[in-house]
Homo-oligomer: A and B are copies of this chain.
Amino acid sequence: MNYIVGIDIGGTNLVLGTVSEDGSVLYGLRKEPTRAEEGPDAVVARLVGLSRQAIEDTRAADPETKVIGVGIGSPGPLDRVTGRVLITPNLGWTDFPLRDAIREALALPTALDNDANCAVLGEWWRGAARDTQHAVGITVGTGIGGGIIIDGKLYHGFSEVAGELGHTTIDANGRLCKCGNYGCLEAYAAGPAIARRAVEALRAEVDSSLPDYVSGKLEALSAQIVYQAARDGDQLALEVVRETSRLLGIGIANLVNIFNPEVVVVCGGVTMAGASLFDPLRQEVRRRAFRPAAEACRIVPGELIGTAGVYGAVRAFLDQLDDGLISGMDDA
């Protein structure tokens, strides 16, 4: 069987594995800290080593293994055509030829796409958005990214930078976002914003167990801890999660009115909040979006926890191969 190495480069972790070209099996899954501060060359060297191990695992499991390429999902902005990562605030890399560095080291045709695009593409291929033609996904983590599937393909826009769904204004006079705009969805509902709203709420309200989770060090509060406390029944944490639902609901209602998608997949750590997030979120979308669009659309958590980006990177390779965007090794 033909396999493709899928690499998901996150701000925190590198995740990779090999996926069969029909998407049915994933072998050799590996995960380790990114340690971006070591610089891109060191990270690439580790990725190459991990990829070789994953390929060996795959050969051990399936003697007929043929590895035909590599797909990489990376924070961006990046240029799919030249394969360069332009700027990555979370990694600190600038204008780095990531695709060709991996391609030359592994001697395999290689494709690059944006990490959020890959996560959404993975969910579309093998996860919560499978069997749809029109899907939208948002990834809620350190930032809020997005991916748009139209007619069963990732939409990249005119100059390859479409899908910045976290950087849409939901409050014209709102909080400054790190992108320079005011009132972006990301400034309210990404992980750090969730933690910050919890800290703000704690200033007004003392009856909460949240400080106990971080031994009173509020600067250590994270969105994950807020979700945990909400699951444990802390009322203040539940209120922060409900407000997160409302804010994400505004952003998602906008996407529902714009795209009339069959499904909106919400990926990332925020899905840990479970029904306490998704129930009010769906309610907010129904309250705000046009009824025919809202009724047509499922809003669901991602299913491929931890591996959506790997599956998506592999699918991005296959799609770029189909589109003639991948040069063979002889042209390299």
Contact = CB atoms under 8 A, between A and B. Distances in A.
A163 B293 CA distance: 10
Interface in A161-178: 161-165, 167-174
A82 interface: no
Contacts of A293: 157, 159, 161-162, 164
Contacts of A179: 290
Contacts of A258: 146, 148, 162-165, 168, 258
Interface string A266-303: 00000000000000000000011110110011000000
A96 interface: no
A155 interface: yes
B77 A167 contact: no
A50 B80 CA distance: 52
B288 A159 contact: no
B297 A260 contact: no
Nearest to A148: B258
Contact of A296 (B158, B163, B253, B288): B158
A167 B292 contact: no
B296 A254 contact: no
B167 A170 contact: no
A176 to B, nearest CB: 12
Contacts of A289: 167, 181
Contact of A288 (B155, B171, B181): B181
Chain A interface main SS type? loop
A260 B158 contact: yes
A181 B253 CA distance: 10
Contacts of A161: 260, 290, 292-293, 296
Contacts of A156: 260
A90 interface: no
Nearest to A255: B258
Nearest to A167: B257
Contact of A157 (B77, B155, B261): B261
**Copies in the assembly, this chain:** 2
Contact of A257 (B158, B160, B164, B247): B164
A290 B257 contact: no
A150 interface: yes
A196 interface: no
A53 to B, nearest CB: 36
B160 A260 contact: yes
B260 A167 contact: no
A250 interface: yes
A310 to B, nearest CB: 25
Interface in A245-263: 247, 250, 253-254, 257-262
Given A158-B260, A170-B170, A172-B250, 13 more contacts: A134-B157, A155-B259, A157-B261, A158-B297, A159-B260, A161-B260, A161-B293, A162-B259, A163-B258, A167-B257, A172-B247, A180-B288, A181-B288
The 5 closest A-B pairs by CB, nearest first: A157-B260, A162-B260, A159-B296, A164-B257, A168-B254
13 contacts: A132-B158, A133-B158, A155-B259, A158-B262, A159-B296, A162-B258, A162-B293, A164-B257, A167-B290, A170-B171, A170-B172, A181-B253, A258-B258
